[in-house]
Structure 1
């Protein structure tokens, strides 16, 4: 069996989305979001989207790019996925080799990826020279079940959808940039500009501006919970965070509860979220909301 690795073409979007949904069931992805991610990538990201073909059929895909939102240079990232019906046949190896070659050519000195904490996935990563590091937890919530009763917000707190900020989303960016910079990560997004945020968060086609909620305190955006949806049944929390001056007041819990309540009303049935295993406050919020363990992922790194 021969594997052909080539660059993505727009007409590949349906097949790439299908591979991602099959390989990583908790991903929220659509063909439109695949096309958008490639077309909107800034030049400094050096994104190369790869697909792997066997007998003319796309059975794997991988993105390879430089972390342009981090102040630390030389950080490459790749996320290879192979359709479950085609693993163990060299498809993943071919994708990783092509991704690493691209990143090395862009000056990357290290490559980061996620491996799911199973013998097969971690074994694959380690055989290809990747060292396992920090872990994250993927959680699932059945939205057909009732949510816990929401605590009553303080008198100065409003829960507002992102759609209310369409005329001026900068306050949302400022909250997201501050909270994201503090998120546990090997590749922290601590150099995110407003223009970059507009292009790659605000205009992300999966971001639902009616289900994404901000907690506003005395007119200032204090916390928020991003909601990504596929327009069908799947909902995913893109990021939930609180500005430093407002932490400890339960505002992220309020924002996420309201987002999930809106998702229920809109007919979504399955919600997913991811947490760093050391992020105890957010893990506690998700337990209170009713999320259950779904998978474990492991951050892995390889020096080039």
Structure 2
């Protein structure tokens, strides 16, 4: 198969060549050098987590009901998924509905649940055709049956896809996730499958909702607030953070590429000197 993307320069260093080969193996149509010619392939984050904030404020500032902002935010979701695959990102995790969001007005919650069902049904075929796998993170208990069914169907329809993985964090709270992980580990200890002395960081990581998914390299938050809002607290320990003032409905392909450019300029030390 001939690549439709930009050819790699002959002088590319081994690290970038290996990264580009890995990206092309996963996404034959990816074109990271075309979209991000100024970013070495080895600097493209494998996992981007996003706090999609500002839908309500976007709508209110324009005199619309908050739900209009959520609807307009769906285009940003599509653009993000499409661009992430084109540049070779492996995982995108979207903070779709937090456990704290249940405190919002009931009509807004109902609209969000309806949009979730509509998204699952409306995007399922396109996601599968583009080899995008969907995983759902969060507690299913408490969600309307219709939402649980729609999410399960979307997961099942895309489970064999091998390209981009999109994780939808719905009814998600990181503290609840850690509590659930602790319960799983405690049950294993009680059953004699594990001793307390054997518990280590990998035991906890393997008990989280994100088991099998690499930790985020880059966390993007739109809407201007500098906080992590109970999101992937264990997983973002070493993530680079980009906070954008623009609201989520205004986020687009250029915004994602600029965030990746910012990430690529940073020196990740992981607690050391980074020499």
Q: What TM-score comes out, normalization by structure 1 length?
A: 0.28
Higher helix share: 2
